[in-house]
Amino acid sequence: MTSQPELPRAAIFGIGGLSLTAPERAFLGRAQPFGFILFERNCADPDQVRALTADLRASVRRSDTPILIDEEGGRVQRLKPPHWPRRPAAGAIGALYGVDRERGLRAAWLAGRLIAADLFPLGIDVDCAPVADVPVPGSHGIIGDRAFGADPEAVAALARALSEGLIAGGVLPVIKHIPGHGRARADSHRELPRVGASRAELAATDFAPFRALAELPLAMTAHVLYEAFDATRPATLSPVVIDRVIRDVIGFKGLLMSDDLSMAALAGGLGARAAQALAAGCDLVLHCNGKLSEMEEVAATTPALPAARLAYYRSWAARIAPAPVYRDAAALELAGMLAAREAAC
């Protein structure tokens, strides 16, 4: 592993369990990752999660270290009952929007605000949501109702509303999976999806929500190969897709993180994957499974995050703070709107 950088390393790591082991603590002290990501395996109850987030920050000696989680609602919710309530899937909110635009937007904002109210008191300040993908007929169900729907304009509006709800609660959103996972006919956790749509089709549908959200601070790549732009490399590893599509056509200027490097859509060793993603134009690499030997590989090829990119993140983090929310009233309002739509169907 290269020597400890003065700036944090351009990596986000998961850990194995409910608390740090001695080897994990020693590694993290040396590696100094930019941030951490939590999963269900790391979350037992509120007191335990608060202790863990504090310990993670202490391990790298930076109180502003971001801690992430995938808390979308629906199928992708790491915080489970009985300690945390179930939150609705994006697809349910999209269905409400389809019959009542204003109520749909309100529901999306409430969902984001309630998720933030779950996360912020735990010390979690970044949520890997919303999903801004646009599924098409025949695509793999890995996205499915994690998306707000099949209309790019509606997806953009609802993703923005949920993002604004998160920000109002002191939590930064991560839009995903840029430049679009909706056409994929395979699960990128298991294999590399290939998309053969034309540039015009992609620009009109898949890219459109991300273009509408391009000023947001964080985005996560899709491990998807877009044949119209790069016939050999998925977006995460493609300088063509990152430069010409994500940075140029979409206009995203924020921090770009890879999806999980350990997913089977990517080939080669973990260190090589990290190096390729960063060389392609990702600002940060994400490694989720908590395997220490793999994290060592990633750290060995991952340099410090450039100072300008760290300053960009900190400028966003400094400008947000949670506004008051009456959680029970907000939850009742959201549940009532969704129940009324279901009863009307």
For the annotated catalytic residues, the residue numbers are 189, 259
In the chain, the amino acid numbered 291 is: K
Beta bridge partners of 76: 73
In terms of C-beta density within 10 A (0-12 exposed, 13-18 middle, 19 or more buried), how is residue 151 classed? Answer: middle
CA 179 to chain centre: 13
Helix (H) or strand (E) holding 297: helix 292-300
In the DSSP assignment, the letter for residue 144 is G
Please tell me the distance from the alpha carbon of residue 64 to that of residue 87, in angstroms, as a whole number: 27
In the chain, the amino acid numbered 166 is: L
With beta carbons less than 8 A apart as the criterion, state whether 24 and 15 touch: yes
What is each CA distance from 249 to 179, 184, 241, 257, 343, in whole angstroms?
10, 20, 10, 18, 42
Q: Which two tokens stand for residue 116?
A: 């933030």
**Phi/psi of residue 124, nearest 5 degrees:** -100, 120
Please tell me the distance from the alpha carbon of residue 161 to that of residue 180, in angstroms, as a whole number: 19
From the list 109, 199, 101, the residue with the least C-alpha distance to 153 is 101
Count the neighbouring beta carbons within 10 Å of the beta carbon of residue 300. Answer: 14
What is each CA distance from 330 to 103, 256, 320, in whole angstroms?
13, 32, 20
Q: Which residues contact 260 (CB under 8 A, 6 or more apart)?
A: 286, 287, 288, 289
CA 156 to chain centre: 16
